[in-house]
Amino acid sequence: MTDVATRTWDGMTIPVAGTYRLDQAHKRIGFLSRHMMVSPVRGEFAEATAEIFVAEDPLRSGVTATIQAASIATGSVDRDTHLKSADFLDVERYPTLEYRSTGINWQSSEDPIFYWARLRNHRLGGRGRSHNPPPQSEPGRFVLTGELTVKGITRAVDLQVNFGGARRDPYGQNIFGFSATAEINREDYGLLWNVALESGGVLVGKTVQIEIAGEAIHEA
């Protein structure tokens, strides 16, 4: 392990280069879908591993992750049993979901979309607030391009990644935190089961929002 936990890249503090693993005690692989077109249902996969390679050039970094399909949990035993069945994940035939990154891009806060959105919010603030333009020195976010495989079907999925910071923990380990989001259509992966509602619409929404958060520990 290196003597330092962080370094500076393009004005932003980032982790030192090396291989990191997902901390099992600090992770959440979550998702959200809609029930009967009106209410959100959240769930998560309790068992997942990931290896994150942070390169000297951070834009050459990469991630591979494996999720155990049978670890899905939504707070309802009956619903979880159905989600594990052949109607959905078919965990007997396809025990894992896999993600592999193919590239990474940094979206700077100086990107016009971010800057003008912040400028507009700044000007719409409460009375008495300064109307000077906001600084452009805040770090942006990363877009991780990659491929998600579910039930043997692979599709491109980009993760919007927010870097949470890096430091050395009380046990002397170099760590960094992150969160990520994405949106997929479950039917793209052969998860086609549904029931039409008499009032219109369907029982289970097609769109699934992915919500990930965690910490990674430096290994080498």
Pairing of strands 72-73, 96-107: unpaired
pLDDT number for residue 143: 94
pLDDT number for residue 152: 96
DSSP state letter for 133: P
pLDDT number for residue 110: 52
- Please state, in angstroms and rounded to a whole number, the distance separating the CA atoms of residues 143 and 61: 12
- Please state, in angstroms and rounded to a whole number, the distance separating the CA atoms of residues 113 and 55: 28
Question: For the whole model, what pTM was predicted?
Answer: 0.81
Phi-psi region of 87 (alpha: psi -120 to 50; beta: other; left: phi over 0): alpha
Segments of the chain scoring below 70 in pLDDT: 1-3, 35-38, 108-140, 196-203, 220
Class of domain 6-218: mainly beta
DSSP state letter for 135: P
Where along the chain do its domains lie? 6-218
- Please state, in angstroms and rounded to a whole number, the distance separating the CA atoms of residues 69 and 72: 6
pLDDT number for residue 12: 84
